[in-house]
Structure 1
């Protein structure tokens, strides 16, 4: 009678008790179990005795080559591992304060940066002040050029104004001619032209040009007693002095 006992599971030879996976094998991989049967003769007992006696000649009926019959392959799937439990949150360690040899170097670098910032600030202030002065200079020069150009044009018209004054003294500024004379005087006044020099004004050598001198008991200071030609100015600028006769006190 041939008996097919179940051989030991080769996959469980190196496994730990309880069906744990052998070393080097991942727990989430399926495990393959091979069951084999071998044919044993009826004289198994005598074969075992001959093997124990150390005989070199095999006993009768000894099966030299055991036939391994793979009759069943069992695949045992281990349950998939669930998500690993979350560990404690990772907290970044606070930055350690700079100490030791790095602190003096950092302090020196900060001082250098502050010095450079102060220098650049002073440069900016200096450039801003220079630009402001430049603008003031340009505006002043522009005004002077405009005033000089206007003065040159008005100076060319002063002889016409002198003729109008003489005609006014003689009573010739009447009718349309008088109207035109008034309009011309008004138009020139819009450019800042203003006459000065009237009889009885105190003598001012910066504005009056004396062409005659006399003494008088009626004055207490040098006084313009006669105006031969009126003077003109543009704003505060003297365009032409007035020609006058001056009376000094006795």
Structure 2
């Protein structure tokens, strides 16, 4: 007697595939695997061979967009260089103009130094306030004085108007300052005039 639940071999739903039909009722595809269709140029590019696909830039973006980004980067770099160059030129022009004006008042600053050395700029003296205001104005312009006793002699920064041997020094050294030097930024307005002590026997 045949069981009602049994199904003939090969019958639908029996689980045994026949004629390529799977257990779930779907027909399996036969033949070679299906591949995505690519052009020869695209396939070569994906394989690292051949040229870029038409219309594409080296960074993988559309060629027009890639060229636009390259132009934008170049213009940005050129503008940055132009801005830095302009700022340097402006600063140089400013220093020159300030230096020209400062050179005209250096003799006045020298007179103040001499007056101070002679004790004429004592606290509360008539010229003390004027000297402080003038020196303050010069400092705000970025002008700095240099040249002090005890400095090592530098021929690029000092003008040695007199030299003398001394057993107390091992290297040429500033022993007296006749006129202080002045500079603005990296520009020397005037070198310092100094007396230099040199090692004995040099």
TM-score, normalised with respect to structure 2? 0.66
Q: Is residue 2:112 matched to residue 1:167?
A: no
Q: SS at 1:220's partner residue?
A: coil
Distance change in 2, residues 1:117/1:170 (3 Å): same
Deviation readout 1:102-124 (Å, 9 max, x if unpaired): x6799954437833332222222
Deviation readout 1:74-103 (Å, 9 max, x if unpaired): xxxxxxxxxxxxxxxxxxxxxxxxx79xx6
Question: Residue 82 of structure 2 is aligned with which of 130, 134, 150?
Answer: 134
Partner of 1:176: 126
For the aligned residues, what is the CA RMSD?
A: 2.5
Distance change in 2, residues 1:187/1:108 (3 Å): closer
Which runs of 5 or more residues in structure 2 are unaligned? 1-36, 43-51
Deviates more, 1:167-176 or 1:113-122: 113-122
Partner of 2:29: none
Alignment of 1:2-151 (within 5 A): 109-111=54-56, 114-151=62-99
Question: What count of residue pairs does the alignment treat as equivalent?
Answer: 151
Q: SS at 1:176's partner residue?
A: coil
What is the rounded CA distance, in whole Å, between the counterparts of 1:158 and 1:189 in structure 2?
13
Which runs of 5 or more residues in structure 1 are unaligned? 1-98
Equivalent pair of 2:99/2:184 in contact (CA under 8 Å)? yes
TM-score, normalised with respect to structure 1? 0.54
What is the rounded CA distance, in whole Å, between the counterparts of 2:149 and 2:55 in structure 1?
78
What is the rounded CA distance, in whole Å, between the counterparts of 2:53 and 2:173 in structure 1?
78
Question: Residue 146 of structure 2 is aligned with which of 174, 190, 196?
Answer: 196
Looking at CA atoms only, which structure, 1 or 2, has the larger radius of gyration?
Answer: 1
Q: Is residue 2:162 matched to residue 1:217?
A: no
Q: SS at 2:62's partner residue?
A: helix
Partner of 2:156: 206
After superposing on structure 2, the runs of 4+ consecutive aligned residues of structure 1 that deviate more than 3 Å are 103-113
Partner of 2:181: 231
What is the rounded CA distance, in whole Å, between the counterparts of 1:132 and 1:165 in structure 2?
45
